[in-house]
Amino acid sequence: MTIFSIAVDGDVVAAVDNDGLAMLSVHVRGSVTEPHAAVLSCDGTLTAGHADGYRVWLQELQLRAGQVVTVRMGDSGAAVTPAQDPPGPHHGLSPESVATLGRTHPPPGALDVAAARSHARVRPGFSFALDLSNGKGCAVRSDPADEMFQCLVIWTLDWEPECARVQASASSRERILRRERETPAFEGRLFRGDSVTIRCGD
């Protein structure tokens, strides 16, 4: 059993036990079309045999510039957070998780394209810094073509379950609509006892 503890500015907001899970993911994402610096969430799926396998442990929590998210992978820690009901009908994993796992989505329809392009920029750009407890990390400031970023910690039962992957990337709405890959900024791994911190910039 491994517990993933998620804290904001040192205060634990969720802790998830991976026993019985097929996948667990923690997302920190931000967009220039949103006024807040980033959004933090945590979701995952149960192992086969469950009728409704999707679970949410932390629904979207808005973050301010300067706030720090810490994800720690350990044997024990904070009390485990009960799973929440999804905020609405859900038909599988989040888009971030699906993209990371290499699964396919149907091409966006005309309404999806129009909706994606309708949101105006409310910030000129974004920045974030990611640091692993082993000393590796990255610092990213967007260039004019970037509109969004994602930092992801993902654990899967069927891929090296002794560790979790850590990934950071940047992209834009047009690139996503064209189904192009995001620009990678960092790739690493967490093992038991390791942690990663993500500091939200402006």
The token duo for 158 is 């069927």
Quick one: pLDDT at residue 202? 77
- Phi and psi, residue 138, nearest 5°: -160, 160
Across the range 32-41, mean pLDDT stands at 94
- Phi and psi, residue 173, nearest 5°: -60, -45
Per-residue model confidence as pLDDT tens digits over 100-137: 444 445 665 666 656 656 677 889 899 999 999 999 99
Quick one: pLDDT at residue 71? 98
What whole-number distance in Å separates Cα of residue 7 and Cα of residue 58?
11
Name 165's Cβ contacts closer than 8 Å, sequence gap at least 6.
100, 152, 153, 154, 155, 187, 188, 189, 190
Residues paired with residue 14 on neighbouring β-strands, in sequence order: 6
Residues paired with residue 48 on neighbouring β-strands, in sequence order: none
What whole-number distance in Å separates Cα of residue 94 and Cα of residue 90?
9
pTM for the model? 0.84
Quick one: pLDDT at residue 100? 43
Looking at every residue in the chain, the average pLDDT score rounds to: 84
Q: Cα torsion at 145, 148, 154, 160 (round to 10°)?
A: 0
